[in-house]
Structure 1
Amino acid sequence: MKPDWKSTLYRYVQERNRAELEYGINGLTALVYDDADLQERAARLLNLRKNTSKRGVTLKQRETRARIVSSSSSAQEVRVKLALSQQFRYEHKDQAITEFRNELERLHMVKASVGWKIMRVDALSAENTVTPPDMGGSASVPFMNPSALARSGAIREPIRYNREAAKQYADRYWDEPNPEYLTFEVDCTSFVSQCLFAGGAPMNYTGQRGTGWWYRGRHKEQELWSYSWAVSHSLQNYLNTGGSGKNRGLRAERVPSAKELEIGDVIFYDWEGDSRFQHSTFVTGKDADGMPLVNAHTVNSKGRYWDYKDSYAWTDRTQYRFFHIADFF
């Protein structure tokens, strides 16, 4: 027989899914006693409803599956780490789109006179986290695309950016790490860098973490990657200031609107409007209006609408930067 707290957990997943379908939290208020979470969720759903209406989107189906990653319990309380796999099917001007998203939450539940109450909900995958934390693990060497390795001093033919190969990589690894790379807890920018590299962008190896764009893994306690490889603000700054230079290496053109982007391009997110960029995504498609759909890590997402107004990190101060990656390196 299942512990009765699992019944409450099952109801929570059902009501969480219903809230996203109906853009309201009514079904959650009988289960969740975390006022801050409920208020934040209600505001996000209201914003999402306005945004989907403005886009002309009709949500057809939404599924949420949950898996208990870990739990600790006593007679009076339970703490659960929950993995949520979500799938959205919607129509946009006769275009059928499926979006996938995975999130992690930690729930604190306490025994009530009847059943259980969820006293606290914490999102564990946060898109507004800035700095990748320290990681353990052994050395890692990425899968190398030989044509993408710039040779210092060598005269070579220009490399065409293979946007389709970059997209295929983004679709292959949106929800699982490539074992050839170390996985950051805040992995959004490393994922974008891997996609660019898979499309043929040459690394600019300088051996100095504050310059170039490169990755060599970890050797003992030494971190062998540039900040621009793994930190959103650093990659944004690298592209915004010319990348690897005018004549070779990874570079991009900053464009004024999301609609000007193509598959294989990159978007950066400054949640607070303070010119510090905390998140990065990779363009893998377009909707019926020609607006980008993106793949991303941290909150692992595939085919997500580019503006992230459905994210807890989004604020009305959020600013974006759009970069069109060069066609030749």
Structure 2
Amino acid sequence: MTKISTTQTQDMHSALTQAIRSEPSLIGGHEKSLKGDAGDGSTVVVSAEEIQLMGIAQPWDWKPDPVGQITMEKFQFCDLEPAKDSGKYFSPGGQSFSSGYRDFLALLSPDFQPQSILSAVKTTNQPPTSGASKSGWLNVLNNAGQLEQKPSYSTSESPEGWIAQVSTQNTEHKLTLEFESGDVSVATSSKEVSVPPDQVYKIQITATAWQRIQIFPGTWYNQAIITIAKARESQYLAGGMAQVAFGPGGLINSRVSEFVVAMMPSAVVTMDEQFASSQQIQASDIQQVKVGGFHFSKGSPESAAKLQPQSVFQSASAGSGKTTISASETHATHPYILAVIIQKFG
């Protein structure tokens, strides 16, 4: 991946969207459509992409998968269906995508074609018998310390593999996002100050490396069945079953298909100098800065479940009535997940 710098946009969501869409090696068609079954030559959108930010950047520090297993943390992230209409920020819906997919298969008309594909996928979706291994399924160590079989997922990169790759490559991976507004708060030793949007002039988020990571469901999943069913709803999902499958709150309205990770984040916030002075915001007294989903903190890197990069702060008058505050991670222990890519079928 090459160096990406965005022109200044309204907010972080717009800036990251611009960065992703300007990286041709990572982006394919954002919307896929097929000829519908209405007989009028119209097309039906069968999947589209939506970018959603994490409200708080999550550590991407999943442990390596043991042989024949998938970690619970990885499975839950990959399998959790997004909440419906959550806007610019990702919100888990609390439903299992693999369970929804299995229920969706049961809705399809018996005359679905190709029948061989549907039959094979239905067979793969049947849970294996206790103690037996089955293609498309992996063991997960549950909270009770017992192994249970779950539908499998894999990703295009692992945390340790990606970090090693970034550290050995000579290509430039830097990401720079510039935008005009966003939620900013600054905590000093005595108080936490939320900076009003009209007091913020510019926000810049940078990372030394970033990547779009793909999520691959196992052989229990075949998107072709969704594509065919969506394009032939009146034939294969009659009697309102299309709404049950793809409508708001439907069984398979959407899924997390990719996520965006970043390494060694830093931030620069330019705000009104008079406001900073009135709130007694000084670099020597800053304990934490929250911006762009990152919580830059002077505390231990293990604090707050490792959500906060251990950071140093600087501030200076930028002239013209402006003050800048810089927050940068002092050392990297893991990348952070800052956004997800939602594949929408509804």
**Superposition TM-score tier, normalisation by shorter sequence:** under 0.3
Using the size of structure 1 for normalisation, the TM-score is 0.25
The structure with higher relative contact order (CA 8 Å, sep 6+) is 2
Structure with the higher strand share, 1 or 2: 2
Work out which of the two has the higher radius of gyration on C-alpha atoms and give 1 or 2.
2
Using the size of structure 2 for normalisation, the TM-score is 0.24
